């Protein structure tokens, strides 16, 4: 994978993934956290706000971003309706948990606008 321009939809998805992972980790995990950095792409161009994650969430987010950027479909279908099913099952369950938790968190805090892009 080499550096390239991001598509608008990719940017949205990357922002959501980062945002949701950040909320999930902050609300569920204590212990040592480090600012998230993604080696393959310059995500600072997309999401300037830094998030700090524990090692487990760092691994999960790295995986999620990698798979998102490798998605062979254009336009990308909803992951659950996709025939490729690229996520390894352990990660798939975990990502689903993160999305559900952070989605509920945003609803409770009146940030439904954040969800619009993800669930449309
Ligand atoms: Zn965490």
DSSP the chain: ----PPPHHHHHHHHHHHHHHHHHHHHH--S--EE---SSS-GGGT--S--EE-HHHHHHHHHHHHHHHH---SSPPPGGG-SS--S-HHHHHHHHHHHHHHHHHHHHTT-THHHHHHH-
Asked if the structure places residue 51 within a domain, the reply is yes
Q: pTM for this one?
A: 0.83
Number of structural domains found in the chain = 1
Q: How many residues does the chain have?
A: 120
* Domain that includes residue 84, residue range: 8-112
Asked if the structure places residue 99 within a domain, the reply is yes
Check whether 115 has a pLDDT greater than 70.
Answer: no
Asked if the structure places residue 3 within a domain, the reply is no
Asked if the structure places residue 103 within a domain, the reply is yes
**CA 112 – ligand 1 centroid, Å:** 23
**CA 7 – ligand 1 centroid, Å:** 28
Helix axes 8-28, 55-70, angle to 10 degrees: 160
**CA 75 – ligand 1 centroid, Å:** 30
Asked if the structure places residue 50 within a domain, the reply is yes
Asked if the structure places residue 118 within a domain, the reply is no
**CA 100 – ligand 1 centroid, Å:** 15
Residue 94 to residue 28: CA distance in whole angstroms: 13
**CA 28 – ligand 1 centroid, Å:** 7
**CA 18 – ligand 1 centroid, Å:** 12
Residues 4-18 have pLDDT tens digits of 677 888 888 888 999
Residues 51-93 have pLDDT tens digits of 999 999 999 999 999 998 888 887 788 777 888 888 888 898 9
Asked if the structure places residue 95 within a domain, the reply is yes
């Amino acid at each position: 994978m080499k550096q390239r321009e991001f598509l608008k939809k990719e940017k949205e998805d990357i922002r959501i993934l980062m945002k949701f992972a950040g909320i999930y980790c902050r609300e569920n995990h204590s212990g040592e956290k480090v600012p998230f950095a993604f080696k393959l792409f310059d995500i600072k161009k997309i999401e300037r706000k830094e998030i700090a994650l524990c090692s487990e969430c760092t691994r999960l987010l790295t995986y999620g971003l990698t798979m998102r950027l490798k998605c062979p479909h254009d336009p990308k279908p909803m992951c659950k309706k996709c025939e490729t099913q690229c996520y390894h099952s352990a990660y798939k369950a975990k990502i689903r948990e993160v999305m559900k938790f952070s989605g509920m968190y945003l609803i409770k805090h009146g940030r439904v606008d954040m969800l619009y892009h993800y669930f449309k």
